[in-house]
Amino acid sequence: MTAGPGRGQPRKPGNGEACAVAPVRLRRLNRRLVEDLREDLAGLYVESRVPDTGDAYRRPGRQDFLNRLTADMGRPGFAMVIAESDGLMGCAFGFPVRGDGSWWLGFDGVLPRGVGQLTVSGRAFAFGDILIRPHPQDRELARRVQERLLTDHQASLGATLVDGADHPTLSALRSWGWLDVGELRRPLGVTTFRALVFPLAERATVTGVGLVAMPGGGGPGGR
């Protein structure tokens, strides 16, 4: 799992700079269109995070990203939403979480009750990646693509796993509204992941006792 820089702070234009930001459109892609855009998506992956010279974590390379994309495209229910302006500004993709809870295999401790409930009811969606090109409004753009992907699938909860050593991605996701719910390690795996969730505001909420589903899914698309 990777993410953009997560700065999210509008930059004040300098002398002679235009104040307006080009409108950004969201578009959902089928598998054929994703194949057509593979190289553009790989370029977005490379450009989506400004390198931090003080960060010891080595981000997986371009080919690793393409391999993961190919694997996710083979999963049932795969979907991608892209954001476009003058060029490709961002994307998010993933697949529905199976109701048997196998996606959470290796979670350390007790999974928050609401997360388990939404998983069993088929209202959780796993994000394979969220990529946002550095932009004055990248936080707002991240929110839009995340919510669009969830809404299209009538899901109440986004879920993702991030290498615990990947501090830039963890910081970006937290700034975009994701909540860290614990640690997860796959059986026989060597990577320790942080498990994060993104509750769709209209369909789920966070209370003092954890994440809970809103009645009826919290909106007209809820199940």
- Top pLDDT among 3 and 32 is at 32
pLDDT in tens, 132-167: 998 778 899 999 999 999 999 999 999 999 999 998
The whole model's pTM is what? Answer: 0.81
pLDDT of residue 143: 93
Return the pLDDT at 23: 85
Tell me the DSSP string of the chain.
Answer: ---------PPPP-TT--------EEEEE-HHHHHHTHHHHHHHHHHSS---TT-------HHHHHHHHHHHHTSTT-EEEEEESSSEEEEEEEEEPPTTSGGGTTBSSPPPHHHHHHHHTT-EEEEEEEEE-S-TTHHHHHHHHHHHHHHHTT-SEEEEEEETT-HHHHHHHHHTT-EEEEEE--TT--PPEEEEEEE-TTTEEEETTEEEEPGGGGSTT--
Q: What is the pLDDT of residues 13-69, one digit of tens each?
A: 344 443 445 688 999 999 999 999 999 999 999 988 765 656 677 778 899 999 999
What was the pLDDT predicted at 138? 86
